[in-house]
Structure 1
Amino acid sequence: MAIEIIIADITQLDVDAIVNAANPGLLGGGGVDGAIHRAAGPALLEACRALPQVSPGVRCPTGMARITSGFALPARYVIHTVGPVWRGGRAGEPALLASCYRESLRLARSRGIAGIAFPAISCGVYGYPPEQAAAVAIAALRDDLREHGDLRVLLCCFDARMAAVWRAALSPA
């Protein structure tokens, strides 16, 4: 099981797939989502628009994932997942966040992906406390990798402070 924490621009990573912390409409936005859409080019937006809506304005419900090509990105694929908005932790946020990681890995395996990079899902404008998000993410990744086998997982942080939070969560108790 390989989980590695790096400080990098996720849009520059040469991996099989990067994960996009998307919104339910999958039509771009701010933060990681906006950066991925800008770097991938307009074809990514068109591919997202082509994905069917499961309800008005929703192409990907919270906790689920969808996959597209990476277009102009070094990554071959973008796996879009919608993390939960933080509501104090009593609205099912941990289960939904864990599902984002599991569903992204499930899609990766379905495409024969060997390496995948995740951002800190829900830790930006969705307000999930990074320490709590990291604990949920690491537990979900470890459980999944233990059950389904090896996959190279990069946890891509945008700065040293966030990387320290994730490293602390990854350290054995």
Structure 2
Amino acid sequence: MPDATLSVMSRTPQHLSPAAAGDRTPIPRLAGEREILLSSLEWHRQTFELKCAGLGQEALSTRAVPASALSLHGLARHLAGVERWWFRIQLAGEDLPLLYYTDEDPNQDFNSLNGDVEEALSAWRAECTRSREIAAARSLEDQGTSKITGEPFALRWLLLNMTTEYARHLGHADLLREATDGSVGY
């Protein structure tokens, strides 16, 4: 077993993040395509929730690296907007405003941390709930249309795209959480 694995495995529970110790639905290794795609995205959503667990407004809004605008608060805002944009606006065709975005400040989700962090997490949870409902009501072949390029995309592609979006940002969340309180884990 590699030394890095032994090091992580030997850490005491107080050094593990809630995500490492949390109860997440495992991704099945033997299942159909739809179940694996949905389970993988759900696992990543649950991991983000656990990365934010137990932290208050100040800790969730702390930026780990001064040159970066990333914070767990900003990630919650960003992911809420991404869920809405892809599932509700582009796939389901709902006529809704974008969250945390303006033409004047397209990075408002990260740049402006006004408002209560619990409101941002609640908005993210609500968007995830609506995304789940939309995905459950469609086949993997059902299509949405990109509002930017006009190109069609399938739900199958969207589930994979969203899983990679979460995976990328969970790496950021790992660093932010560790910088906040020393918790590590996946």
- Give me the TM-score of the superposition, normalised by structure 2: 0.28
Give the structure with the larger strand fraction.
1
- Give me the TM-score of the superposition, normalised by structure 1: 0.29
- Structure with higher Rg: it is 2
Give the structure with the larger helix fraction.
2
